[in-house]
Structure 1
Amino acid sequence: MNREQLEHAIRAACTVSEDHELIIFGSQAILGQFPDAPPELRKSIEVDVSPKNRPEAVDKIDGALGENSPFHKTHGFYVHGVPIETAKLPKGWEKRTNMVQDYMDENNIGYCIEAHDLAASKLIAFREKDTEFVRRLILDEMIDVDTLLKRLKVIDAEKEIKDRAIRWAERISR
């Protein structure tokens, strides 16, 4: 996926949800802060979004733009409507988002989760694809490990899950 496709996904999801503001919180949120992110970070063909003002519209997004939809078949990527509450994010994430707005479309806005917040969330999930994503962010010096550790410490997660994520981040930084 690239930035142009992300902007297309935002326009489409805003139209379907009848909400002009979305929160982008899956891996493709990285395109908000790093429009030219390395290809390894842009492998996903899925954009996870939650309508900011109409959270109940996630099912409408999934139905119209989700996996195996005509939108997916036409464009080669899809939009997954997901309640933002499913993501484990550090306290204060709302103030650190990166705004994505197509210069041709001033009405629709995607608020992409900031890279350190995204990395912290992925380390809490701790799937192989998530740790590889965070490893790439660190190796490419797109995030700072000290900042990541601070974000992990203020994330609302079970202690053992949070501790595992912190240990992983400390180990990778050596």
Structure 2
Amino acid sequence: MNLEALFDLFRQARKLCGHQDFVVIGSLSILGLSEHFQVPDDMTMSNDVDCYTKNDPDRVFDLLAALGENSPYHQRSGYYLDAVAPGLPSLPEGWGERLLKVEHDGLRLWFLDPNDAALSKYARGEPRDRRWIQAGIRVGVVSLPVVSARWGSTNFLDADEQQRARCLVEEDQAWFALVKAGRQPPEPEPR
């Protein structure tokens, strides 16, 4: 997935719903920075674009038949719109003010900050989330000190999710200390 393909999807969305502001969260939110550096493949492997219409979040659900999973658009392009609600992921306070805006062709896409996305991914804790986070750490767009600083204001689902996420952050801190010391360890075991 790349930024050009993402804008193609949202041009189709605009035709169907009239909105021109969309918020992209999840893995593909990293594409908000793609005009500034070469995004690692491990960060753009997803084929589902987690998003919502910025000014009317529920409106995005009306687009699923035409642009969602197994839609004609998905079958043609290989990727699809995955409608989400703004309150779905575990995110820290202030995440909405840190959205990164990219404009093309009258469309405004708002992308989740990579550190905020990393917190949400630590909360979910799936192996693909860990690959995304570690790729971001390697290229410097995910900062473990920033993630730790935002930890206290993150809205976790419950204490268990918070504890699991904390363990994953600690594992990545130990992993990255070895990377920085020049002793490239094996990838941490996904939980």
Task: Tell me the residue number matched to 2:10.
Answer: 10
Select the residue among 100, 103, 106 that pairs with 1:101: 103
Count of equivalent residues: 171
| Pairing of 1:18-167 with structure 2 (within 5 A) | 18-35=18-35, 36-102=38-104, 105-106=105-106, 108-157=107-156, 158-167=158-167
TM-score, normalised with respect to structure 1: 0.90
Q: Distance in 2 between matches of 1:71 and 1:128?
A: 28
> CA contact under 8 A between 2:29 and 2:111: conserved in structure 1?
yes
Percent identity reads 27
Does the aligned pair in 2 maintain the 1:116–1:147 contact within 8 Å?
A: yes
Counterpart-to-counterpart distance in 2, 1:51 and 1:110: 10
Distance of 1:153 and 1:31 partners within structure 2:
27
How much has 1:88 moved relative to structure 2?
1.6
The one-letter code matched in structure 2 to 1:161 is E
Question: What is the distance in 2 between the residues matched to 1:166 and 1:123?
Answer: 8
Gaps of 5+ in 1: none
Deviations 1:79-120 (A, max 9, x none): 111112212211100111111222xx12x2111000000000
TM-score (normalised: structure 2): 0.83
Secondary structure of the corresponding residue to residue 23 of structure 1: strand
Query: Superposition RMSD on alpha carbons, in Å?
Result: 1.5
Matched letter for residue 120 of structure 2: S
2:69 and 2:161 map into 1 onto residues whose CA distance is 30
Letter paired with 1:170: E
**Which digits, 9 at most, give the CA deviation of each residue in 1:27-64, with x for residues without a partner?**
10111023431111111111111111122212212111
Mapped to 1, the partners of 2:8 and 2:149 lie a distance apart of 33
